[in-house]
Structure 1
Amino acid sequence: MPTNPAELKKMRRISTKQRNRLKKEWYDAIHEAAPLWLQTAMELSLQTTHARLEISRIKYKIKKPNSKACGCVWFQVLEETPQGKVYGILYIHRQKTEKKEAAHVAIPIGDEIKNIIDRSRDNLLSDYVVHRLPAKSKRKISKEVNHVTQLTPDYISRTFSKIRDELGCCDHLEKDQRPTFHEIRALSAHLFDTQGVDPQSRMAHTDAKSTKIYTKNHIEWVEVPFAEIK
């Protein structure tokens, strides 16, 4: 053939992201107006750098790390480290990068994460740290969740955006430019970076500068250094 037909294909134009970064003052305003379950989700996202899907899956307790669950393994005796007390390990399986070894992240549970988890507990029986009992008319379990008290990632995002718009803190921006719940991840990375902590391994990025990879239950986990955002 004299020509390559593939070269005649018109490439689809890919638009760049339009969303603005979430400012700390916007985060604080939305957090103050949010219900407890959303405050918990926002705080966990800020401390772990992880997004709505991983946050919605975090369980109060899991027996052992595995590739299909996010949750806490608590130490029988807390560990004293130069950086602070460590009560256990929060294991997060980041689905977006599941084919890469950095998809499995082990985050030490210090005072900040423990306080978030403790504060989230209420009189509602649930395995999930971020939980809420929907109205009786809406208690049909979504395919995305395993229990009626577990929240879908989409519901977390929509509620965050609803409160953001009700407060009007981003009214000067077009709808598609306003920061969503996902932008907490970038804010978290920025705050860790300003503290001199490399956020890459925590975010399950494979280009991390400093990571410690170890095998537990036949799964490779990236153990990140102890760090907290005060």
Structure 2
Amino acid sequence: MAPRPRKNGSKDLPPNLYRKTDSRNGATYYSYRDPASGKWYGLGSDKAQAVREAVHANHTGAKIRPALADRINAAPMRRFSEWIDEYRKLYAERDVSQQSKESARMRLNRLEEALGHHDAAAIGTFEIASYLKTLTDEGKAQMARAMRSLLSDVMREAIAAGWRKDNPVEVTRAAKVKIKRERLTVDNWKAIYAEAKQPWLKRAMELAVLTGQRRDDIAGMLFKDVHDEHLHVIQAKTGARLRISTKLRLESLGLELGEVIKSCRDAVVSKHLVHHSKTVSKATPGMPIVLDTLSKAFSEARDRTGIKFGESPPTFHEMRSLAARLHAAEGRDPQALLGHRSAAMTALYRDSRGAEWIDVA
């Protein structure tokens, strides 16, 4: 459809500039109409000045509709939430543990809620940095680091799939995480062990400090996994497959794995090494210990010792670090025991964070 012809009184004016007459006094003045918003702007009665401003606006300032060819060739907007759906499918095919997949699922849901409405191709460093800063400001620096790592992978996959041309996450800064949780010492472990009222908590603490395994793996240990004089563990987090000799011993605590496993057997028939021996709430004898129950029982025993810890007292997980330090002190390789792929990660666990004295000859 051809545009409506301009009135004779405006043919000598550039596009979007119009001549008006004041009905009260017959004075002539000029007005500019923004073609994008339809808003009018008065330019006074000086024709030459009005023409100059209109020409300038048409070329630089006005939001004039893009050319048809540009509109046809422009890539359609695809929301970031759509790409997250595609990424979920890619991640589901990866050879990672179920726990890693569950963590990724929850974090992707958070990303979709925060950034899903944006154009996937238009998200820039500003949007990414702002989102990460929000987490840091909320005191969630560790979460900010985890989300940054996930976002970077999400963007790399988007580039590979043609959804983006760059990775805006790479130039952002990783949040600094201040480690607060205190380490366990041998004396503290003994004090907490003495306050452990439940037999299953004592067994769990013995297994944790002997094997150095995570809370999930301790709770999931089965009697059938003990054969050929080894305890077989497939780590829930990493999928690492470990064969731990039942002759493994910690001289510093007088514990041997085979003896601890024997003490896990009691009058209750159960397939789990760490199990309830009596009915507690909904739990019946023989049932495994829920992870939150394990953590809570340990914390309660810790608090009963009366030891004055700092703002972040050691949790059940700190026995993994204590195990690494004790086994290293007795000449064993803690990296193999903990199932770490890198010595650097094991070094982090061996760091006592100033909780222990350093003997100097």
Q: TM-score, normalised by structure 2?
A: 0.45
Tell whether the 8 Å contact from 2:201 to 2:294 is kept in structure 1 after alignment.
yes
Matches of 1:137 and 1:48 in 2, distance apart? Answer: 30
Which of 227, 232, 243 in structure 2 is aligned with 1:106? 243
The alpha-carbon deviation at position 5 of structure 1 amounts to 4.3
Partner of 2:264: 120
The alpha-carbon deviation at position 118 of structure 1 amounts to 1.2
| Matching residue's letter, 1:151 | I
Report SS of the residue matched to 1:97: coil
Counterparts in 2 of 1:94 and 1:167: CA distance versus 1, 3 Å: same
Q: Indicate whether 1:180 and 2:324 are aligned.
A: no
Matches of 1:139 and 1:193 in 2, distance apart? Answer: 38
Matches of 2:313 and 2:200 in 1, distance apart? Answer: 22
Report SS of the residue matched to 2:233: strand
Matches of 1:129 and 1:172 in 2, distance apart? Answer: 30
Partner of 2:288: 150
Partner of 2:354: none
Tell whether the 8 Å contact from 1:201 to 1:208 is kept in structure 2 after alignment.
no
Matches within 5 A, 1:194-209: 194-208=329-343
Q: Which runs of 5+ in 1 are unaligned?
A: 62-70, 76-87, 141-146, 210-230
Q: Which runs of 5+ in 2 are unaligned?
A: 1-121, 142-176, 249-255, 345-361
Tell whether the 8 Å contact from 1:56 to 1:130 is kept in structure 2 after alignment.
yes
Partner of 2:85: none
Matches of 2:280 and 2:294 in 1, distance apart? Answer: 19
Matches of 1:38 and 1:200 in 2, distance apart? Answer: 25
Tell whether the 8 Å contact from 1:90 to 1:108 is kept in structure 2 after alignment.
yes
Q: Indicate whether 1:191 and 2:326 are aligned.
A: yes
Matches of 1:168 and 1:36 in 2, distance apart? Answer: 21
Identity of matched residues, %: 31
Larger Rg: 2
Report SS of the residue matched to 1:122: coil
Report SS of the residue matched to 2:335: coil
Tell whether the 8 Å contact from 2:276 to 2:283 is kept in structure 1 after alignment.
no
The alpha-carbon deviation at position 134 of structure 1 amounts to 4.8
Which of 185, 188, 207 in structure 2 is aligned with 1:23? 185
Matches of 2:195 and 2:309 in 1, distance apart? Answer: 20
Aligned positions, number: 173
Q: Indicate whether 1:95 and 2:236 are aligned.
A: yes
- Larger proportion of helix: 2
> Structure with the greater relative contact order (CA < 8 A, sep ≥ 6): 1 or 2?
1
Tell whether the 8 Å contact from 1:134 to 1:149 is kept in structure 2 after alignment.
no
Partner of 2:219: 56
Partner of 2:300: 162
User: RMSD value over aligned CA atoms?
Assistant: 2.4
Matches of 2:222 and 2:178 in 1, distance apart? Answer: 35
Matches of 1:60 and 1:41 in 2, distance apart? Answer: 14
What stretches of structure 1 move > 4 A for 4+ residues in a row?
Answer: none
1:86-130 deviation per Cα after TM superposition (whole angstroms, max 9, x unaligned): xx11111111113xxxx1111111161111011222111111111
Counterparts in 2 of 1:56 and 1:23: CA distance versus 1, 3 Å: same
Partner of 2:200: 37
Tell whether the 8 Å contact from 1:54 to 1:94 is kept in structure 2 after alignment.
yes
- Larger proportion of strand: 1
Counterparts in 2 of 1:124 and 1:185: CA distance versus 1, 3 Å: same
Tell whether the 8 Å contact from 2:268 to 2:286 is kept in structure 1 after alignment.
no
Matches of 1:138 and 1:130 in 2, distance apart? Answer: 17
